[in-house]
Structure formats: structure tokens, C-alpha cells
Amino acid sequence: MRVDFRANVTWEDFRRGAGAFGRWWVSEILSMLPVDWRSEIGSWIARPHMRLAQSQWIISWPGSDIASVSVDASLPDAAIATSLAEQAGERLARALTFELPGRDVLRRSIRLPVAATARLRSAVELQLERISPFRGEDVAFDCAVSPGEAKDGEVGVEIAIVPLATLLRYGDWLKSLGLRVSEFRAEGGDHRFGGVSLDWRWNRNTQVWALVGAGAVCWAAAYLLAPSLRDSEFDDTRAQVNALQIVSGDAAQAKDTLDGLAGAASFLAQKEKQPLPLDALKALTLGIPNNTRLTSLAIDGDRVRAAGITGDANLLLRVLTKSNRFSDLRWDGPIVPISGGGKRFTLELTLRPGGSEGMLL
């Protein structure tokens, strides 16, 4: 195991680390005790764990010798409460850990810059409304970096999301069974969501002293931790900017794709308006007099530039002007006599859309 003492320590890191150390320390202490003592202490500190498996609600006590109890999930709430009380009794006095069924947990996988892992929850919170159909303030979520090495400066992040309404619904249901819940977990136990609102009944003096104590602690923390908090705020802002850059990059990529599609559609529409070379050649062949032949043909949009040799330039112009296929006719350059009696010409005109093949002569 490698420990980097230069890395920033976040509250999330401290909470996870302290919990893992506490569980390890307790297990080491228990392993040195006699078996009888270990069993007695294990049953005393074991926290109930409730989960749904094969249409049965099962409550177990991990790490202890207490036998698990089960009850049919299809029974009415009153029957479930009665069955649990008969099977477990006082063992259910402690608050339990409730494992949410898989159908109630929305799981997502994303990739974030390595720098964002220093403030992982803040970076993921910015993405919640993009990766789930719920508003950010209406859900509870947990996240963890996926196992494996970072690639291209990014790491994979696994996210589990649960609507707060779902947690409150399960909390109220457990309360109706006479049970207390300390923590919700996703199926498999890889993500935790904490508890729900507690029914604390503080008197006025307790509230006043709690507020005074909280204010004193906050003042001391602000005085002692101001320098490090400033650096942490910079890191947090940097992580948020990196997360927003991912979203802006996705938007820019989508815009480029739409621009490409729009350009292709515009090109195809313009292409459809342009006359085909064979249509232009056919129309001119049918329209010119017999004493005229074409030597070249060029098309630019709906404009046609034709060059050739004619025996009577005036007759050629009159015939094409009366046609219902051409408009905007004009000579493009002088009409030059050539040996043999003909005249070389260059003519520009607009080719109208095809419809009738007839010519008005």
C-alpha cells in the first residue's frame, strides 16, 4: 500500500478512512479475545442488516453468531411486524442497515479528470442532472473511483443514485414495523446513502447549547484552518471547472455534428436545384437550329455556358428566346466568322426546371 502524505485530505476521505480503520481495529481486538467473550461482545455490537432476497425479507447480524430471521415479503405490514418481533425480539432494538433492492437504485458510470478525484462528490454533483432524470436536490447519491489505472488523464467513476422520496418511503415503512434505520445501502453494499430525517425531540435549552457549541467549533475551525481551506477551495473550483469542461466539450461536439448535418443538407438541396448536364445538353440539342452544332458546354448552378458554330446567329438567338426552357440569354463575347461560312459563338443562358419537353418555336 502506498500513502501520499502530500495529497489533500477531504472530509469524504477522512470519513471512509476512519470507518475502515475502526472496523479493522475492532476485528483485531475481537480476534485476541476468548471465543465465548468474542461471541458475547459480537452479539452486543452487531448491527442488524435487512435485505430482500427471493421474496423474503431477511435480517442478519454480520460478524456475530446470531441466526438470521426471515419473513415473507408478500405479507401485510402488521403480519411482518408480528413475525419479526416473535423471531428476533429485543435483538431488533438497535438501528439497522437497510439494503435497497436493485430496482430502486439508478447506477451510472462516467469518466472524470484525475484532478477531480480530490473533490469527487462535488464534481459528480455537477453531473447529476445530466446523467439522471431527477433534480440534484431531490436525490441521494454515492460515488467511488472504479478499480484500475487512469487512462488519458481520466478515471472511471461508479455512481449510485436514489430519489429522496424512495428513502423516506422505506424509512416510514420500517418505522411502521417498529424498526429504526441508521443507514441505507445499495444492493451489494458497495454504496451508502446515510439515514433519513430523525425524530429528535430537543428541549429549548438543549437547542441553545447545541447552537452555542456549534458556533464555537465553527469559529475555531475557521481560525485554525483558514489557510488550508483557501487552498482546498482553489482545488474544488479547479475540479468543478474540469467537470464543466467535459459538459461543454460534449455540447461543442454535438454542435459540430449538427453543423455538419446542416451543411450536408444545404449542399444536397442546392445540388437538387442544379440541372443535370444531360438535361442541359438534351434541351439545347432539341432547341438549336439544324445549321448549328455545339463544341462545349459548362454548367454553374442554373446557368449554362454553351459554345459552338452556327450558320445564322440571329436565327439561333430567336429560336432559343422563344423556348420555354431557357431565359436570360446573352452573347458571351463576339461572334467570329470562320473559314467555310460558319460563325463561332459563345452563349450564356438560364436553364429552367424540366417539365414539358416541347419547344415553343
Rounded to whole angstroms, how far apart are CA atoms 317 and 346?
A: 11
Torsion angle of C-alpha atoms 90, 95, 99, 100, degrees rounded to 10: 110
Torsion angle of C-alpha atoms 107, 112, 116, 121, degrees rounded to 10: -10
What confidence tens digit (pLDDT) does each residue in 4-28 have? Answer: 555 566 665 676 677 778 767 777 7
Radius of gyration of the chain (CA): 41
Say whether pLDDT at 356 is over 50. no
Does the domain spanning 277-351 belong to CATH 3.30.1360.100? yes
What confidence tens digit (pLDDT) does each residue in 260-302 have? Answer: 777 666 655 555 555 566 777 777 777 788 888 888 888 887 7
C-alpha cell at 122: 462535488
Rounded to whole angstroms, how far apart are CA atoms 116 and 243?
A: 7
**133-151: average pLDDT:** 86
pLDDT of residue 357: 43
Nearest to 288 by CA among 250, 329, 249, 259: 329
Contact between residue 349 and residue 297 where contact means Cβ atoms under 8 Å apart? no
What confidence tens digit (pLDDT) does each residue in 38-66 have? Answer: 655 655 666 788 988 888 999 887 766 66
pLDDT of residue 163: 92
Report how many helices (DSSP H) and strands (DSSP E) the chain contains, helices first: 9, 14
C-alpha cell at 83: 413475525
Q: Read out DSSP for 159-199?
A: EEEEEHHHHHHHHHHHHHTT--EEEEE-TTSS-EEE-----
Distance of alpha carbon 211 from its chain centroid, rounded? 40
Q: pTM for this one?
A: 0.46
Nearest to 279 by CA among 352, 330, 349, 345: 352
Rounded to whole angstroms, how far apart are CA atoms 29 and 48?
A: 21
